Amino acid sequence: MAELYEGFTLCGLAAGQSRENSGLLGIEPGRDTDHVIVTGAGRTVTVYKVSDQKPLGSWAAKQGQAVTCPAVLHGQTGEYVAVHDSKVLRIWRDEDINFEKVFKATLSAAVSRIHALPSSEPLVLFQRGAVRQLDALLAAPQQAVEEVLSEEEVIRWSSCFLEAEQPLLLFSTEKSGECFLYLQKLSPNVLHKYNIGSEGKGVCPIGFTATLEDKCITLMCLYSNGCVYKLLVSLHPSVEGEQHLPKSLLMKLPVSEGVLHRAAIACLEEGHIAIVGAPPSASTGDRDFLCIWKTNFPTPQASKELPGGADGPLWCNAGKLYVTHGKVLTVLPYRCEKSSLAAALGKLKQTSTQGDVYKAFCLYWGCVGVSREEVEEVLEPFLSCSPVSPQFQLGLAHIAVELLKRCQADPGFYPQSVLARLAQTGRLSHSSCPGFLMLALEKHDYFLAQLCLQHFPDIPEAVICACLKAFLSVADADLAQVSVDLEGVSLVDGPGQSLEVVQNGFSPVLLEEDSCDVQLTPPKLDQSSSWTDMSLTCPLFLQYLQYLYVRSSGDVYTQLPGLRAPTMTQIMDWVSLLLDAHFAVLVMAPEAKGLLAQLHRFVRSQVRLYSELGKIQGTLQELGKIKKEQEIGLYSIEVIELF
């Protein structure tokens, strides 16, 4: 079983992109599962945080140069490595700004691709088939590089693996309609060559994907006639020299007429593959689809239509598929489950209590007449055990998705306590159950909405804006009975405790670095005054402001001290952040003119007040400097000149 979730746009593509040119050279993993490196088919390399859909850094070669292979992250040093103009190697870090001033090395031969490994040196594959580790290449950039390939033989695809801490590089080539496969080992330096053969005139492989398991590489080839073949490549072949590699037909795509030109294939988990640019069925003439297929039983498990043209490359990273269509790069989270014929017939024996509970609950949510109390009773044993296995997290996501479907189909069914328990597990995310937070807003369940904001790590910006709109439009009477945790995301310490880490909710270092305004010390507010009581009138909005601040400053301090609600000074600082971030939009909005005029008058009055207070402060200081005469009678009249 497989499922494709609702996708979102990560970035736009270059204006000149077309079906023949997707506008991207490649997408590589970043520092963690939430970061990717996007290399454009031009001069730019950009690092994105996927959950926020925002770039964290971007670098570009100068005019006239072109990046010729996807940039990768060196897993040991944390540096980025790329090649422009085929022979110029560049290495840089996040803090580097000018791409022209980063490390540069000119190589003696043209580079085809750089492959990164988590715990090893990156591998550099040259266009003529030679392979070098990056550190050995940097020791002598102009070293001679041998030519492995014959004349007119061109590299079409490559991938790297790590077996017993030793790197392996697998790449395919094409020459005069024939396809070859090379397996390069570095320790010892051994190269194996295989002949894949051809499938007839006009039929050629257009996509490759490979996995390594049990000391054997499984290669899947997608041909232009819609056939997917499976090839097994042994890491320790017994025959020397070039070998013919047999292949077996894995599945045949329903290509009714013509041939595939730019379809792509990617291997997923649990015996599933993803294919873009091919229809899911013969009745569907349009090929602008992304489909997940089960290889054991050649059937489509999930499909998504991609308007604007879906022919092009396909990348897979950390449970997400990246595909270009139209003029955008779209990210589609997916999920694959292990399936079998016995499971499909309902005869698969469950070996654990957790499996029994999960299976029983699957039966319960399919029944129309199941009450909320019965759902809670069946789900309680499942939530009581808290293993950290991926199967448990997958089960939670599946349960949440099915409950959301039931709530949407039956407006009278809303198990609030069950949904809250699911959110509090900390194992769910927005990508695994996209409608969870929006359902809470639809039901005006602000307690559940707060739990989602606290525990979901990948809430997109559009959903956050919807939460803010809902929080600002809710009436005070609706919040009277809402249970809101005022200490859930608290940022400050109580009175009498140290405030060394946080000042007004911000890092003093960041304030000095990011601000160019004159720093004024605000007057101290009486903690018992009525002004500070405003934090109790709209706690949900204040907690939302806290949530925004925690997300924006998470890279500075991950654990901030304190157990109390924010002070009035902090709230004003956070409101100022919101106004500064959206000031351009606020100025352009016609309905905001009245608000801006009021704010202008208020600020002007405050400036005048502070000006007068400054004069009074100066006067009082002068009074303190006046020397008192020692001999003053019981009654006297004195004239004090202030100016």
Span 205-223, pLDDT tens digits: 889 999 998 888 999 999 9
- Owner of token pair 């709209």: 538
Name the band, by pLDDT with cuts 50, 70 and 90, for residue 39: very high
Rounded alpha-carbon distances, angstroms, from residue 192 to 102, 245, 389: 37, 11, 39
Asked if 273 and 266 touch (Cβ cutoff 8 Å), the reply is: yes
Summarize the confidence of residues 555-579 as an average pLDDT. 57
Residue 589, pLDDT above cutoff 60 = yes
Summarize the confidence of residues 463-479 as an average pLDDT. 77
Name the band, by pLDDT with cuts 50, 70 and 90, for residue 80: very high
Q: Which among 88, 87, 76, 235 has a CA at the least distance from the CA of 164?
A: 235
Summarize the confidence of residues 452-475 as an average pLDDT. 81
Q: Which strand (E) or helix (H) includes residue 552?
A: helix 539-552
Residue 612, pLDDT above cutoff 80 = no
Summarize the confidence of residues 283-295 as an average pLDDT. 78
Q: Which residues contact 519 (CB under 8 A, 6 or more apart)?
A: 511
Summarize the confidence of residues 420-425 as an average pLDDT. 86
Percent of the chain predicted with pLDDT > 70 = 71
Query: Which of 137-158 are b and which e, b meaning 16 or more Cβ less than 10 Å from the residue's Cβ?
Result: bbeeeeeebeebbeeebebbbb
Mean pLDDT for all residues in the chain = 76
Q: What tokens were used for 91?
A: 């290495």
Name the band, by pLDDT with cuts 50, 70 and 90, for residue 81: very high
More confident residue, 330 or 18: 330
Most confident of 43-57, 275-289, 398-412: 43-57
The per-residue pLDDT for 390 is 57
The per-residue pLDDT for 311 is 60
Residue 30, pLDDT above cutoff 80 = yes
The per-residue pLDDT for 53 is 85
Residue 137, pLDDT above cutoff 90 = yes
Summarize the confidence of residues 50-66 as an average pLDDT. 90
The per-residue pLDDT for 163 is 85
More confident residue, 558 or 564: 564
Q: What are phi and psi of 189, to 5 degrees?
A: -75, 95
More confident residue, 440 or 380: 440
Least confident interval from 66-75, 218-227, 562-571: 562-571
Rounded to whole angstroms, how far apart are CA atoms 597 and 632? 55
Asked if 319 and 337 touch (Cβ cutoff 8 Å), the reply is: no
Summarize the confidence of residues 394-422 as an average pLDDT. 84
The per-residue pLDDT for 628 is 58
Residue 582, pLDDT above cutoff 90 = no
Rounded to whole angstroms, how far apart are CA atoms 382 and 355? 9
The per-residue pLDDT for 387 is 57
Rounded to whole angstroms, how far apart are CA atoms 13 and 165? 38
Residue 476, pLDDT above cutoff 50 = yes
Asked if 463 and 470 touch (Cβ cutoff 8 Å), the reply is: no
| End-to-end CA gap in the chain | 86
Residue 135, pLDDT above cutoff 80 = yes
Span 223-252, pLDDT tens digits: 988 889 999 998 887 777 788 888 888 888
Summarize the confidence of residues 280-300 as an average pLDDT. 77
- What length does the chain have? 643
Domain positions in the chain: 346-434, 460-626
Least confident interval from 147-156, 177-186, 360-369, 462-471: 360-369
Residue 93, pLDDT above cutoff 70 = yes
Residue 518, pLDDT above cutoff 70 = no
Residue 197, pLDDT above cutoff 70 = yes
Most confident of 229-233, 294-298, 426-430, 456-460: 229-233
Least confident interval from 154-163, 487-496, 616-625: 487-496
More confident residue, 431 or 291: 291
Most confident of 63-72, 391-400, 477-486, 491-500: 63-72
Name the band, by pLDDT with cuts 50, 70 and 90, for residue 454: confident
Residue 16, pLDDT above cutoff 60 = no
Q: Alpha-carbon torsion 581, 583, 589, 592, what sign?
A: positive
Q: Which among 496, 489, 508 has a CA at the least distance from the CA of 573?
A: 508
SS3 422: helix
Residue 490, pLDDT above cutoff 60 = no
The per-residue pLDDT for 548 is 56
More confident residue, 500 or 626: 626
Least confident interval from 181-190, 353-362, 546-555, 618-627: 353-362
The per-residue pLDDT for 326 is 79
The per-residue pLDDT for 479 is 64
Residue 508, pLDDT above cutoff 70 = no
Ranges assigned E (strand) in 246-398: 248-252, 264-267, 272-276, 289-294, 299-305, 314-317, 320-325, 328-336
